[in-house]
Structure 1
């Protein structure tokens, strides 16, 4: 392969905020992922590259180490440093943004248990669009650009939070193109290269992708964020992210005491706390759902000597909570309606970013969604029995065909967190794909580099497809031969 002038392709790479090695790694990562540095191309030696960039050798070594941990480059004594591609491993690219793989490269013969979402639009969406048509026909002075969202929809979302116990005004709501855009906008608003973000492990892979895109350094804590206060003092994160209700992927629901404690610590230490509550609308029949985290308004408990002196009034408590919601999981993903609930200054800040990207969302969709938001609870009640049925069908089918797998039950949400008795999820996911079923390897959901023995499955398909998926998984498991070394996917900039 012809030598590549890496320094020429780098362009401006050191103008951001954060350690130089993180900025350099972020720029090289972008070049690799965009194909500007093709697989197999040689990168300069440490000392030579440092001299070309006028930085210390340790900067180059640290940047290379980050990229090597992600599998994007390979460093071997005697043969130098070479690009290994956008993702670690060989064969089909099932480790780079695996949740999105089936969306980017759909295959008709693959049953996907990787990306969970409703299978089809419910009749309520058709009705909502029918009601939206006269509203649009009556518009005479409407340019259609609303960076913060269609005002009646913002008010409808605010009213829903108020009904759920978190008094909210429309200026605390930003409408987005789904929950994923909400995460991406928040990551861009709060994170600079090298900043630390505290996340649960395992967690929603789309969140890891959003933080990864901003070159964040991830600090992982177990579900429920035990050790939050001590870790925050030691690591100084600019943001914390977690899912308090029907956690993705485990289905965990945090207790009221733990929710209050997390909110209290975030408020006392002034750390913006993103509560991803998209899955909170997916309880099984008869399961009580806790109120939104933003409903926490009680005065703080004692935090101990390190932070007890920080006073917060009842009105300020919980002001650091940023809530994310969406119609994607409780109604239909194709509608692409999500939202952020936060303080007015945060909403204004993120709205400015949003305006640069697309000036505002799809107005007809937002008009239709305005009529759907007040009926979310009724829609969820209708879907609850279907979710519970899919959960039970898939667990029963797996128990009959793969009794050695550990498949804990959940009380809501849309995913099962499965433990394999041996091998690793990444290599098994590749075997499963060859048998016609797509699953999500656990290591891609774990910022700490763990969960190698896990896979995530969703249960939203009709019963017949879930049984067929279990048959294919059983065939894949029978044919599966674990590699000598685990084929785990490296976490994005995880420390």
Structure 2
């Protein structure tokens, strides 16, 4: 079923469209068409949704119907709208343009490259001590086969205890250990999403989640995240998207959303769970960044606290607060669903390495020391990156996140992909905005992680400023090997 954007909703998204740049030189209908094109290019207005009827939108905007009719006609002429008499008008992009959603590429190790494509910290000093302790514990497991499809009991108990301390009572039977958060997502999708099933995701969102959904041949619908200083999610549009499209599954990142850094309010979490139950939708909640609030930000209770019908599957892991090289993730769900996932898993990879799980146990035992230090490190590096950008690139707009590891930057033009190609030439690897969407949009945005040392971040910004200055000159395109975006 096609989702519809009502006139009042579109009017709210358009905001002060009369005051957009160039407005005084354009008639009303052209300004309105340009504003709607802007929403499409930013990913805030999804593709494939039915727009409000002309009369309804005219009433919501308090303009004449003639103005809306002319704006819709211009959008059809530019390829941003497709209409069928008696059925309505749907948002599109010219020539059906779409961009591959995969963010996973073969890495190239280059010591001279400042890699801002990968949002992950280096390992903490405590990792070596944890690895030694794990090696000493390993003999206890050597008499068995070593296959633990749901994970060793010590780690499942530790993860379950973490959820319980966050206000979500959890038993070890509700935990399955996986080889990273991405592996957890892939297993859930294998079980829950048949080919062609509708799925709802945020836009922008994590590129490798889009890759996993594309591999399942899911029909992806999007909910546009506001890039300003608000909560990010438009509650009215998100809940309507669940009710109207009735997706099989919705993938959401409520804690410091990747890449925007937004934190979903507690009230919306409860409403999303209720709407998902009413629409028959399973919720996959990615909690990769839940351990990384900054500036004393209080994180609401987990989304699954509001779940009474086993609709919520939570996934998380060690990659962001600890180290990406330790491939430990998990699924938190009902015990029967965990058993179904374990039965599915044995046809994929059998189990996670026991030694890695023991390392994770010892790291979690030191969480009260490691995680606060990571938060302090990230806050310092975030502030250094923001100051450098204000100094070198004041035309770019940044909303400072209250947690997570990335800035979502609004550029001074639709130049993200071109900027990323040019930045490679000066030794900076970037993750361009379109990688975080599915429709060839988001060219005015760029994700910048603050996971590198402050000096490297400041150097990178200086190089980007130099590249931006020269970007408008004619350049000969050069093809580059793509890199990992994580």
TM-score, shorter chain, exceeding 0.5:
yes
Question: Which residue is equivalent to 1:363?
Answer: 354
Distance 1:112 1:97, change over 3 A: farther
Q: 1:370 to 1:280 in 2, by over 3 A?
A: same
Partner of 1:290: 300
Q: How far does the alpha carbon of each residue in 1:92-127 deviate from its partner, in whole angstroms, 9 at most, with x for none? A: xxx7734x33x53333332111111112x2122222
Residue 151 of structure 2, aligned match among 149, 152, 158: 149
Contact 2:101–2:211, Cα closer than 8 Å, also in 1: no
Tell me which residue corresponds to 1:12.
none
Shift in Å at residue 142 of structure 1? 1.8
Aligned 1:118-133 pairs, distance under 5 A: 118-119=121-122, 121-133=123-135
Change (3 A) 1:464 1:262: same
* Conserved 8 A contact 2:101-2:437: no
Q: State the 1:184 CA deviation.
A: 1.5
TM-score computed with the length of structure 1 as normaliser? 0.72
Alignment gaps of 5+ in structure 2? 1-91, 226-232, 476-486
Secondary structure of the structure 2 residue equivalent to 1:104: coil
Report matched runs for 1:12-161 at 5 Å: 69=96, 97-98=102-103, 100-101=104-105, 104-119=107-122, 121-161=123-163
Relative contact order (C-alpha < 8 Å, sep 6+): which is higher? 2
Match of 2:367 in 1: 376
RMSD: 2.3
Question: Where do residues 178-257 of structure 1 align in structure 2 (5 Å cutoff)?
Answer: 178-223=180-225, 224=233, 226=235, 227-257=237-267
Deviation readout 1:349-405 (Å, 9 max, x if unpaired): 222222111110111010121222244343221111110111111111111111111
Moved more, 352-361 or 243-252: 352-361
Deviation of 1:136 after TM superposition, in Å, equals: 1.3
Task: Tell me by how many angstroms 1:150 deviates.
Answer: 1.3
Of the three residues 350, 354, 360, the one matched with 2:341 is 350
Q: Per-residue CA shift, 1:390-430, capped at 9, x if unaligned?
A: 11111111111111111221111000011111132112211
State the number of aligned residues.
Answer: 375
Relative to structure 1, is the Cα distance of residues 138 and 341 closer, same or farther in structure 2, using a 3 angstrom cutoff?
Answer: closer
> Within 2, Cα distance between the matches of 1:483 and 1:179?
42
Match of 1:48 in 2: none
CA displacement at 1:335 relative to structure 2: 0.7
**Aligned pair in 2 of structure 1 residues 323, 483: CA closer, same or farther (>3 Å)?**
farther
Distance 1:347 1:70 in 2: 39
- Residue by residue, what CA displacement relative to the aligned partner does 1:149-171 show, whole Å, maximum 9, x if unpaired? 11221111111111111111111
Conserved 8 A contact 1:330-1:376: no
Q: CA distance change for structure 1 residues 402 and 350 in 2, over 3 Å: closer, same or farther?
A: same
Note the C-alpha offset of 1:449.
4.2
CA contact (8 A) 2:97 2:440 kept: no
1:268 is aligned to 278
Distance 2:219 2:157 in 1: 36
Partner of 1:465: helix, strand, or coil?
A: helix
Gaps of 5+ in 1: 1-64, 72-87, 89-94, 298-315, 485-495
Counterpart Cα distance in 1 of 2:404 and 2:349: 31
* 1:14-40 superposed Cα distances (whole Å, 9 cap, x missing partner): xxxxxxxxxxxxxxxxxxxxxxxxxxx
In 1, the alpha carbon distance for the partners of 2:187 and 2:358 equals: 22
Partner of 1:219, secondary structure, is strand
Please give the alpha-carbon distance, in whole angstroms, between the structure 2 residues aligned to 1:218 and 1:96: 11
| C-alpha separation in 2, matches of 1:157 and 1:70 | 43
**Is the 1:243–1:276 contact (alpha carbons within 8 Å) kept by the matching residues of 2?**
yes
Q: Deviations over 1:173-216 (max 9, x none)?
A: 11111111111112222122211110011111111111011111
CA contact (8 A) 1:225 1:262 kept: no
Check if 1:258 corresponds to 2:268. Answer: yes
Given the superposition, is the C-alpha separation of residues 200 and 105 from structure 1 closer, same or farther in structure 2, using an over 3 Å criterion?
same
Cα distance in 2, alignment partners of residues 113 and 457 from structure 1: 6
Shift of 1:483: 8.9
Q: Matches of 1:97 and 1:274 in 2, distance apart?
A: 19
Instruction: Check 1:138–1:170 CA distance in 2 against 1; reply closer, same or farther (3 A cut).
Output: closer
